[in-house]
Amino acid sequence: MIKFLDLHKINARFEPEFQELFKRFLDTGHYILGNEVAQFESDFAAYCGTNYCIGTANGLDALTLIFNSFIQLGRLQPNDEVLVPANTYIASILSIINAGLQPILVEPDLETYNLSPLELEKNITKKTKAILVVHLYGQLANMKAVNSIAQSHGLLVVEDAAQAHGAIDNANLKAGNLSDAAAFSFYPSKNLGALGDGGAVTTNDSSLAETLKLMRNYGSSKKYENEIIGVNSRLDGLQAAFLNVKLKFLDADNSQRQQIAQRYLTEVKNKKITLPFYSGTKDHVFHVFVVRVENRSEFAHYLESQKVEYLIHYPIAPHRQNALKAFQNYNLPITDYIHNTVISIPINPVLTDDEVSKVIEIINAY
């Protein structure tokens, strides 16, 4: 069986260091917002090229706290409209709803699966106050176009960079440093994954950073003194320590993903398979490698019979979910088509050359 993702094998590379870190962490007796969190925040901000990084409990909280902090600062108001790609993972949309804002679902570009600047512009109204951009599957959205549109309409721009750790644009700026604020998830399967939940916000905005620090910690900077209404959403110290170990290897792991992607793009030759767009640059870190197949269920059964694991990102479009019944009247043919035809094949930094060759051979024989 060729696994879609072998998390044990990915993390086994760091086990001796993890064991040592755990003992050191245990010995400190300081388990909440300690030195390990501060160190990771400093190192991840430096990695992304931003002035600030604020650790949170998970990626959804990171996004929600960004919007709540903008409301706290008076830069957004309840019920303001936020444009968001319709084909994202539901968490992007939930963050907007959870902050008391109104998501407006926008069709993506079929080639890149990212937000379409043309569709974006069409959906701007007087109520629009922000754009939530998602770097879906690990590929940077067209931030030059998005930021230009936002600037001309006076809109905030937030990045959902949960799948794009380390992606770099042609101006050498990284995901997390292309907007007013960005949210990351460190869910175990991410390119930079913890051994549990974790998230972070990166920004260059000092007032936003200070508000986020308060907001994630009950609205408090001093114990038992609460300045604003906040929540409990703090990056765990042990997870921060693990992440800092793995951060040193992120670029090498991303490079390995890109090399595997290049092999797929060059060697998969099957007219039934639509391969993803890739510019060949570092703007895509291939969190997942997504292909399109008209008869997905047949292809999925074929992969199962050949002992190749796969996943579907994502089988049900957000506006088709029971949780979002209010959005079922949206007419989103491109989004529906994507969600009905995409399937992800194995790609990760511990996939061997032989396994990649076998996947290619199996797909070409379909």
Give the start-to-end residue ranges of the domains of the chain: 7-106+113-247, 250-364
Query: What is the structure's pLDDT at 29?
Result: 87
Q: Which two tokens stand for residue 115?
A: 């937000």
Tell me how far apart the alpha carbons of residues 340 and 322 are, in angstroms, rounded to a whole number: 17
Gyration radius from the chain CA atoms: 20
Are the beta carbons of 87 and 135 closer than 8 angstroms? no
For residue 200, count other CB atoms closer than 10 A to its CB. 31
Q: Which CATH number fits domain 250-364: 3.30.70.20, 3.90.1150.10, 3.30.300.30, 1.25.40.10?
A: 3.90.1150.10
User: Which CATH number does the domain 7-106+113-247 belong to among 3.40.640.10, 3.40.50.720, 3.20.20.370, 3.30.300.30?
Assistant: 3.40.640.10
Q: Which residues of the chain have pLDDT under 70?
A: none
Residue 300's pLDDT is: 98
Q: What is the pLDDT of residues 269-295, one digit of tens each?
A: 999 999 999 999 999 999 999 999 999
List, for residues 32-49, the tens digit of each pLDDT value.
999 999 999 999 999 999
**pLDDT of 150:** 98
Q: Specify the pLDDT at position 137.
A: 98
In terms of pTM, does the model score above 0.85?
yes
CA distances in angstroms from 205 to 66, 149, 228, 246, listed in the order given: 11, 20, 19, 27
Report the mean per-residue pLDDT for the chain: 97
Strands 102-106 and 220-222, sheet pairing: unpaired
